[in-house]
Amino acid sequence: MKVHVGINVTDLNQSIEFYSKVFNAEPVKVKEDYAKFLLEDPGLNFTLNLKDEVSGNQVGHFGFQVENREEVFQHKERLEKLGFFAREEMDVTCCYATQDKFWVTDPDGNEWEFFYTKADVESMKTDSSCCAQEPVKIEIKTSSCCSKQ
């Protein structure tokens, strides 16, 4: 089983370049208005859908949960060497857990966290930006996921 995430982007080439570096993988399919990454670890079917405009933030953030703190630092170092600024949050309490993490932002403003959960906690208390945002209302549309709007 793979998780599928499809996001709308305004510059397909810029987004392909960003996600190729973040995922450390090239897309398996590229069309003039679409790109698809199939990752084994984590099991992810990730697509980019070109749109004329992307407004608002339909999600809070995306993330990769890694196995240990060292893996957080390996990804952070790799992405910083590629020119991505990483906001670091170590030993923070977020979403009922104590975590070590860092963040990168894609060309359309979507935030990605790489995080390691050190321990569960009983409080929603937040020292991190991941849980501090207000919930976002999502308007459900009946159009196809891949149709141009």
Of 75-84, 89-98, 128-137, the poorest mean pLDDT is in 128-137
pLDDT greater than 80 at residue 115: yes
pLDDT greater than 50 at residue 118: yes
pTM of the predicted model as reported, rounded to 2 decimal places: 0.68
Of 129 and 48, which is predicted with more confidence? 48
- SS3 string of the chain? CCEEEEEEECCHHHHHHHHHHHHCCCCCEEECCEEEEEECCCCEEEEEEECCCCCCCCCCCEEEECCCHHHHHHHHHHHHHCCCCCEEEEEEEECCEEEEEEEEECCCCCEEEEEEEEEECCCCCCCCCCCCCCCCCCCCCCCCCCCCC
- Read off the pLDDT of each residue in 7-18 and give the average, rounded to a whole number: 94
Q: Which pLDDT belongs to residue 136?
A: 33
